[in-house]
Amino acid sequence: MEGAGAGWPEPVVRVQSLSESGAATIPGRYVKPEAERPSSAAPAAGPGGATAEGIPVVDLSSPGDPATARAVSEACRDWGFFQAVNHGVPPELLRRARGVWRGFFRQPMEVKQRYANSPATYEGYGSRLGVEKGAVLDWGDYYFLHVRPPRLFDPDKWPHLPPDLRETTEEYSREVAALCGRLMTAMSVGLGAGPSRLQEAFGGAEGAGVCVRVNYYPRCPQPELTLGLSSHSDPGGMTVLLADDRVRGLQVRRRGAWVTVDPVPGAFIVNVGDQIQVLTNATYRSVEHRVMVNAAEERLSVALFYNPRSDLPLAPLPELVSPERPSLYSPMTFDEYRLFIRSKGPRGKSQVESLKAAAVGAAR
Ligand code: OGA
Ligand code: NI
């Protein structure tokens, strides 16, 4: 289909093409309202305005240790984000995963366009999140894939080039999903629950969903006016992000300010998604984050989303609900839940907050 194309409200423009056109200014539809621009970051804590504080770093070399569960749990309660070191995924695989996806985004535009996505499933090569006509867009292209469950795995949606992309992405996903399993155990133990409690609530390891979103943020001539990805919380269970090894950009909301993440070489950035916030009755928090772009260098990140089985209505675990701590959220399946971000685009924490209003309303 020509024109708007495949269900998008407007013709799709690749941010990479805009960037490579060499224009000195960005089109108006990428210009964020003043309050959302990166320069509007609230003054950071501490003298001189600089924050020395960064997201916690958690050593996973003994994933079964109570001390590891405590450290993971503390980070999920306090920050909703941490960097995982000694995570067990070989550094060489991280290098290959970045390499094949850089290779994909370097393919000629007509090759990439064969995988143009639609809002029906979002699988493939995309340049926007949300289908609202006239929305202000983010300065980034991406590639989105379902890896699991097997019924959602569609080889036609996977790039054929570079030749080692598929095998590498499958191997990468297997290893990182296994890491998510270890993290689920640590998170569960850190709640005072049995080691498999959270995983069971997800519908078991076999039922869990795994999606990969590779984000490509091209160089931007006016980075102070836009964002690579607007503020959002991740809708799924948890996210394991392989950030760019050279270029910073991710910022995490902390007490109203934006904290820029300084990735530890070889680490993953792990964050709690909305579904774990719901299941833990907000003991663990999904936290808003966003991405800044820059004029000098492009940036690539690989996000793996580990999600609950999508047809289970999820609500707080009964053992985390008490008269003193009533259930904050009404039940919803992840299939229903993810329609929000897929139609409205990234909107801070407004969705999980709206579930809360519903639960409070239902209690009245
Ligand atoms: C995401 C995300 C951060 C980044 O894909 O949900 O938050 O640094 N990515 O690209
Ligand atoms: Ni995110």
Residue-by-residue DSSP string for 240-292? EEE--SS---EEEEETTEEEE--PPTT-EEEEE-HHHHHHTTTSS----EEE-
Whether the pLDDT of residue 266 is over 80: the answer is yes
Q: How far apart are CA 331 and CA 312, in angstroms?
A: 9
Show the tokens assigned to 290: 């966003």
Q: How far apart are CA 151 and CA 147, in angstroms?
A: 9
For the segment 151-205, what is each residue's pLDDT rounded down to a tens digit? 999 999 999 999 999 999 999 999 999 999 999 999 999 999 999 999 999 999 8
Q: Which residues contact 204 (CB under 8 A, 6 or more apart)?
A: 309
Q: Which of 239, 247, 305, 351 to mutate to test the pocket of ligand 1 (most atoms within 8 A of CB)?
A: 239
Query: pLDDT grade, residue 40 (50/70/90)?
Result: low
Query: What is the model's pLDDT at position 1?
Result: 43
Query: What is the model's pLDDT at position 83?
Result: 98
Domain ranges of the chain: 21-363
Whether the pLDDT of residue 27 is over 50: the answer is yes
Whether the pLDDT of residue 265 is over 90: the answer is yes
Q: Is 234 in the pocket of ligand 1 (CB under 6 A)?
A: yes
Residue 13 Cα to ligand 2 middle (Å): 22
Query: What is the model's pLDDT at position 97?
Result: 98
For the segment 104-136, what is each residue's pLDDT rounded down to a tens digit? 999 999 999 999 999 999 999 999 999 999 999
Query: Which ligand places an atom closest to the C-alpha of 251?
Result: 1
Q: Which amino acid belongs to residue 173? A: S
Query: pLDDT grade, residue 3 (50/70/90)?
Result: very low
CA distances to 9, 40, 105, 269 from 126, in Å? 13, 28, 12, 23
Q: Residue 353 — φ and ψ, nearest 5°? A: -65, -35
Q: Is 186 in the pocket of ligand 1 (CB under 6 A)?
A: no
Query: pLDDT grade, residue 364 (50/70/90)?
Result: very low
Query: pLDDT grade, residue 54 (50/70/90)?
Result: very high
Q: What is the mean pLDDT of residues 227-256?
A: 96
For residue 297, count other CB atoms closer than 10 A to its CB. Answer: 14
pTM over 0.75: yes
Query: What is the model's pLDDT at position 52?
Result: 57
Query: pLDDT grade, residue 351 (50/70/90)?
Result: confident
Closest ligand 1 atom to 140 CA? 10
Query: What is the model's pLDDT at position 361?
Result: 53
Query: What is the model's pLDDT at position 6?
Result: 79
Q: How far apart are CA 128 and CA 33, in angstroms?
A: 18
For the segment 56-110, what is each residue's pLDDT rounded down to a tens digit? 999 999 999 999 999 999 999 999 999 999 999 999 999 999 999 999 999 999 9
Closest ligand 1 atom to 299 CA? 10
Q: Which amino acid belongs to residue 125? A: Y
Mean predicted lDDT score pLDDT of the chain: 93
Q: How far apart are CA 326 and CA 324, in angstroms?
A: 6
Residue 191 Cα to ligand 1 middle (Å): 26
Q: Which of 241, 244, 246, 251 to mutate to test the pocket of ligand 1 (most atoms within 8 A of CB)?
A: 241
Check: CATH 2.60.120.330 for 21-363? Answer: yes
Q: How far apart are CA 157 and CA 287, in angstroms?
A: 30
- Who has greater pLDDT, 238 or 47? 238
Percent of the chain with pLDDT over 90: 86
Helices (H), 80-211: 91-105, 109-113, 165-190, 197-201, 204-207
